[in-house]
């Protein structure tokens, strides 16, 4: 197994930590913008058109919050892999993940081959 030098991992770790903080702030902002948030004073006597817009806005906020949550999980998993010395190792086959792939997607858990297999498997299940 190849261990990445700390001069590469430290900036990556700092980037991931700053992304984690940004995503946490984003989730808090989205929660405050959610039209279904009780603190915004949702009214039961609003017009039907307003209710539809509230639902659409709520759905958009929920989708953004879910994406932020998924990214937070990926970041936390990547930070854990860095901490235990498994960063850059494919979770499926145990081979090293190509550094070009990691440069583009630092939270990648699978090598390209295993990612393709996973995508094919998902398509077959749908």
Is 106 in contact with 78 (CB distance < 8 Å)? Answer: yes
Question: Does pTM surpass 0.95?
Answer: no
Which residues lie closer than 8 Å to 17 by C-beta, 6 or more apart? 79
Q: 5-9, 53-57, 61-65, 104-108: lowest mean pLDDT where?
A: 53-57
Q: Given this model, what pLDDT does residue 55 score? A: 80
Q: Which of 68, 5, 70 is nearest to 31 (CA)?
A: 68
Mean pLDDT of 82-102: 94
What band does 40 get if pLDDT is binned at 50, 70 and 90?
Answer: very low
What band does 37 get if pLDDT is binned at 50, 70 and 90?
Answer: confident
H or E segment and range at residue 69 = helix 48-84
């Amino acid at each position: 197994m190849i261990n990445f030098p700390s001069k590469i991992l430290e900036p990556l770790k700092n980037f991931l930590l700053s992304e984690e903080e940004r995503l946490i702030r984003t989730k808090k902002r989205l929660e405050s913008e959610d039209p279904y948030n009780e603190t915004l004073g949702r009214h039961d006597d609003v017009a039907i058109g307003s209710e539809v817009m509230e639902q659409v806005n709520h759905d958009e906020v929920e989708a953004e919050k879910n994406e932020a949550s998924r990214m937070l999980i990926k970041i936390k998993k990547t930070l854990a892999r860095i901490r235990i010395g498994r960063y850059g190792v494919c979770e499926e086959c145990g081979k090293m993940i190509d550094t070009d792939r990691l440069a583009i997607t630092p939270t990648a858990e699978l090598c390209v081959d295993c990612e393709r297999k996973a995508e094919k498997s998902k398509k077959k299940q749908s």
